[in-house]
Chain A
């Protein structure tokens, strides 16, 4: 089983070569690759060994894993589990306790230097990292032990990529992202709270097909999915351009599907593929459902100035009380200057 190629395994399952090609066409499109690469991808996939993936869950809510599993029918997301061998995943595997630990060590040893290390959840570093333990071991120590043997690390979800919600002020656990702990391994950040399932499967397929990671941007995100903003692809952009904004939820403009900029949509500054790939197999995405983008695939999205419902044009001002104090201070300073001046004027 271990040495079976993907093509063999798919053949056993009754999945034809044509089906694989159709899959490859869909993937190359999703990855914004030239269509001519589809047959190459299909051939590579057929000849590939199943890729070992070791998945460590740290300080997370399990939402990133759930999003990958929420498929009603065989889809791209579903098929991915045929191309990879998920050798360790605490929520899904049957083993527990010391049996699970043994599985982990065996998988690491058997695939040394070749496994993909998938991380979800942030890594707490405060107080020696005691805030998240697996079998008594801190996340930090586990990451530091298993990163060296990986071919690359996938930081899945905003928590693993940037620290996410646990990092929100005041960050009591000292939560950080993978890239703040591991500095000497290729890392792919796949942010999103949660990330779009097709994005993860696209990265994995690319790796399995071409033996390397896809092109990344300066925040280590796959350019194919994070190269544009929600705003760039949003179907409501014409309303933005025409200045048609919903002023409150469920007002006339909102019902007409107008742009949600004034209701705090962070689409223009959020890089992700939600507006094109959408969610739940292309059903919808937050803006289409009438709520502005929260910016959940960007660092520190939870702490952004003014919160989710303050537009990008606004932020957090000093407030009227502080402004009043400032005015009084100004008058006092001016009065002091005037008094000094009066002394000079005979």
Chain B
């Protein structure tokens, strides 16, 4: 079964990069450009993992993650945040909101894919 991932980022460039990197791995990618539209997508979608930016209009990453975690069916879904720098306080806030891990932008594709596979337990 192909992995299904929801990626949320307001930057088209980042979305394109994610699309390029992940679809090449055979991952089924759904995308949203802000937290609010991502939440509405999740009404009909149960991804294996979620990748989310932090700074976004219409519900930022922290709020989005908190809202996702409050839902019973997403209590244990792995959520990775995309942060621009490895700022420890951003990570701490993301973690407090319920994030599983983080990816530092500009992301390194193999590392992103490896991290994704690890958090969903798809390790060869």
**A pairs with B:** no
Residues of A within 8 A of B (CB): none
